Amino acid sequence: MVKRRKEDPIVGVLEFEGRTSEDPEIVSWLAEHKAQNGGKIRLGQGSKGVRVAFSKEADMAAWKARSEQALKQAKSPRTSSGSNR
Protein backbone atom coordinates (compact mmCIF):
# COMPACT_ATOMS: atom_id res chain seq x y z
CA MET A 1 0.00 0.00 0.00
CA VAL A 2 1.29 3.45 -0.90
CA LYS A 3 0.78 6.29 1.53
CA ARG A 4 0.05 9.66 0.00
CA ARG A 5 0.72 12.92 1.73
CA LYS A 6 -1.91 15.57 1.51
CA GLU A 7 -0.41 18.51 -0.33
CA ASP A 8 -1.89 21.98 -0.15
CA PRO A 9 -2.43 23.53 -3.57
CA ILE A 10 -0.06 26.32 -4.49
CA VAL A 11 -1.85 29.53 -5.47
CA GLY A 12 1.29 31.49 -6.26
CA VAL A 13 5.02 31.91 -5.93
CA LEU A 14 7.09 35.01 -5.20
CA GLU A 15 10.83 35.19 -5.77
CA PHE A 16 12.88 37.69 -3.79
CA GLU A 17 15.88 38.54 -5.94
CA GLY A 18 19.25 38.72 -4.24
CA ARG A 19 18.05 37.14 -1.01
CA THR A 20 18.56 33.75 0.56
CA SER A 21 16.47 31.78 3.02
CA GLU A 22 18.92 32.92 5.74
CA ASP A 23 18.35 36.62 5.00
CA PRO A 24 17.40 38.26 8.35
CA GLU A 25 14.38 40.05 6.86
CA ILE A 26 13.04 36.85 5.24
CA VAL A 27 13.62 34.92 8.49
CA SER A 28 11.66 37.52 10.50
CA TRP A 29 8.81 37.58 7.93
CA LEU A 30 8.66 33.77 8.05
CA ALA A 31 8.60 33.70 11.87
CA GLU A 32 5.86 36.33 11.94
CA HIS A 33 3.86 34.43 9.32
CA LYS A 34 4.15 31.14 11.22
CA ALA A 35 3.06 32.83 14.47
CA GLN A 36 -0.04 34.30 12.82
CA ASN A 37 -1.03 31.65 10.27
CA GLY A 38 0.47 28.35 11.34
CA GLY A 39 3.14 28.13 8.66
CA LYS A 40 1.43 27.14 5.41
CA ILE A 41 4.38 28.32 3.34
CA ARG A 42 7.28 26.73 1.47
CA LEU A 43 10.73 28.16 0.81
CA GLY A 44 13.14 27.15 -1.91
CA GLN A 45 16.09 28.49 -3.84
CA GLY A 46 15.08 30.13 -7.11
CA SER A 47 17.27 31.20 -10.00
CA LYS A 48 17.76 34.75 -8.67
CA GLY A 49 16.93 34.45 -4.98
CA VAL A 50 14.71 32.81 -2.41
CA ARG A 51 11.41 31.50 -3.78
CA VAL A 52 8.35 31.43 -1.52
CA ALA A 53 5.30 29.31 -2.43
CA PHE A 54 1.91 30.13 -0.90
CA SER A 55 -1.22 28.04 -0.37
CA LYS A 56 -3.43 31.09 0.32
CA GLU A 57 -3.94 34.09 -1.95
CA ALA A 58 -4.17 36.43 1.05
CA ASP A 59 -0.78 35.27 2.37
CA MET A 60 0.84 35.90 -1.00
CA ALA A 61 -0.72 39.38 -1.22
CA ALA A 62 0.52 40.24 2.28
CA TRP A 63 4.09 39.13 1.49
CA LYS A 64 4.04 41.02 -1.81
CA ALA A 65 2.86 44.23 -0.10
CA ARG A 66 5.47 43.80 2.63
CA SER A 67 8.28 43.31 0.11
CA GLU A 68 7.17 46.33 -1.95
CA GLN A 69 7.16 48.47 1.19
CA ALA A 70 10.64 47.25 2.12
CA LEU A 71 11.87 48.16 -1.39
CA LYS A 72 10.36 51.64 -1.12
CA GLN A 73 12.07 52.19 2.23
CA ALA A 74 15.40 51.00 0.82
CA LYS A 75 15.12 53.23 -2.26
CA SER A 76 13.71 56.34 -0.56
CA PRO A 77 15.95 59.36 -1.12
CA ARG A 78 17.79 60.48 1.97
CA THR A 79 17.95 64.14 2.72
CA SER A 80 21.39 65.61 3.17
CA SER A 81 22.27 68.52 5.40
CA GLY A 82 25.12 69.67 3.14
CA SER A 83 24.96 72.58 0.73
CA ASN A 84 24.42 72.15 -3.01
CA ARG A 85 27.52 73.16 -4.92
pLDDT digits (tens, 9 = 90+) for 8-41: 788 889 999 888 889 998 999 888 888 887 657 8
Q: CA of 55: how far to CAs of 2, 18, 26, 77, in Å? A: 25, 23, 18, 36
The pTM of the full predicted model, rounded to 2 decimals, is 0.69
User: Does residue 64 have a pLDDT over 70?
Assistant: yes
Nearest 5 degrees, angle CA 3-CA 4-CA 5?
125
DSSP for residue 78: P
DSSP for residue 70: H
Contact 13, 52 (CB under 8 A): yes
